[in-house]
Amino acid sequence: MTLIELLLVLALIGILLSMAVPKLMPLIGRTKSMEAQMQLKHVLNLEKNYFYINSKYSSSIDDIGFEQSKLVTQDGKANYKIEITEASNKSFVAKAISVTDFDQDGQLNVWQVTHDEEIKEITKD
């Protein structure tokens, strides 16, 4: 193979990749959002256990025993920060907020879970 043939092959691969990457970005965002949903399900189970023992929901992640994984902004692997935003004797709300903008549109992805086991996306990325 000559150098020109090699450069043409690399150029074609680059063109094909530039066409494929924008189509894959929503898939990457959906895959990463599964992390938020799994973490919120875990928080839901921990909050239920806490409720059965104390007859109220906790407003502290530490009280329920949830251990936040190291975030990607801190050289870890977690893409979402988990917070309990509301807690009372009868209800709670926990949120998973992404720490990176997956599709570079200026919006961070936010998921929410409530005491009635409803997990929903609040802000799409």
- Write down the pLDDT at residue 103: 74
Report residue 34's pLDDT band, with 50, 70 and 90 as the boundaries: very high
Return the biggest CA–CA distance within the chain.
75
Query: To the nearest 10°, the Cα dihedral for 95, 100, 104, 108?
Result: 20
Report residue 32's pLDDT band, with 50, 70 and 90 as the boundaries: confident
Average pLDDT score over residue span 44-54: 96
- Write down the pLDDT at residue 61: 94
Q: Where are the domains of the chain?
A: 29-123
- What are the structure tokens assigned to 88, written together? 């009372």
Report the chain's mean pLDDT, rounded to a whole number. Answer: 90
6-10, 17-21, 24-28, 57-61: range with lowest mean pLDDT = 24-28
State the Cα–Cα distance between residues 96 and 100, nearest whole angstrom: 12
Average pLDDT score over residue span 58-86: 94
Q: How many CB atoms lie within 10 A of CB 103?
A: 14
- Write down the pLDDT at residue 45: 96
Strands 110-114 and 119-123: antiparallel
Residue 20 has pLDDT above 90, yes or no: no
Indicate the pTM of the whole model. Answer: 0.78
Please state the length of the chain.
125
